[in-house]
Amino acid sequence: MNQPVPPPDPVFTDRVAIVTGASSGIGAATATALAARGAMVALFARSAGKLAEVAARSRDRMLAVTGDVGSPEDVERLFSETEARFGDCDILINCAGMIDPHPFAKTSVEAWDRMFAVNTRGAFLTARRALPAMIARRSGTIVNVASISGVIGPKKFPGFVSYCASKAAVISMTEALAAEVARYGIRVNCVSPGSVDTEMLRRAGPGLVPDMTPEEVARTILFLASPESRPMSGQNLHVYSA
């Protein structure tokens, strides 16, 4: 059954958002929700075909840019094309992520570095590129998508050491960056979902039963991206069933 389309939201109308990892899962759900509420949304991922499918949902409010979030050149092109089409970024959502389970002793240096390039370096590159314009305007919102696997305490799974470490780095980066940019009126927060019904989860853990949908996580992200969460910065919201 098709979900009803929400009316434009004054909070997001004509705000410029960039969503990485927007070709599927949480990223696609978040980008779709932002556009439905009136935002101008740049979608970024490696899959041109999947990005085009998502962008087709709102052609006048979405821009699809293909690239690798771990590449400084691709991230620069993402922001340049977004600025040319919509203007400076108001809202940055870092959803790009990967899982590649391997026993720790058999994890290659290349595989470890790739995990951090996508999950951690990507968030660093996009935030670093977004900040100068946000600082100049003294406003802006960044939401990073980590994982409950990066939180100290919850049960971990064998083979996920590099993934857990990369997501823990995102959580720590969120907290530290929020403290650094608070004086400019910029907020930086994080979401750490549990198991979400995505293609990535099905590949990584075929036996796992998802706790939630991408759309449910997207609603939490939109809350953090909106003025409704204005008093919150440097926070990591755990979104999972106990």
How far, in whole angstroms, is CA 173 from its chain's centroid?
14
Q: Given 55, 146, 163, 222, which residue is catalytic?
A: 163
Strand spans (E) along the chain: 16-20, 40-45, 62-66, 91-94, 140-145, 186-193, 236-239
Q: How far apart are CA 20 and CA 78, in angstroms?
A: 10
Is residue 163 flagged as an active site residue?
Answer: yes
- 60-90 burial, b if ≥16 CB within 10 A, otherwise e? ebbbbbbbbbbeeebbeebbebbeeebeebb
179 near 226, Cβ under 8 Å?
A: no
Q: Residue 141: which of 172, 170, 184 has the closest Cα?
A: 184
| CB atoms inside a 10 Å sphere around CB 208 | 14
Q: What is the DSSP letter of 154?
A: S
Local structure of residue 13 (DSSP, 8 states): T
The residues that are catalytic are: 163
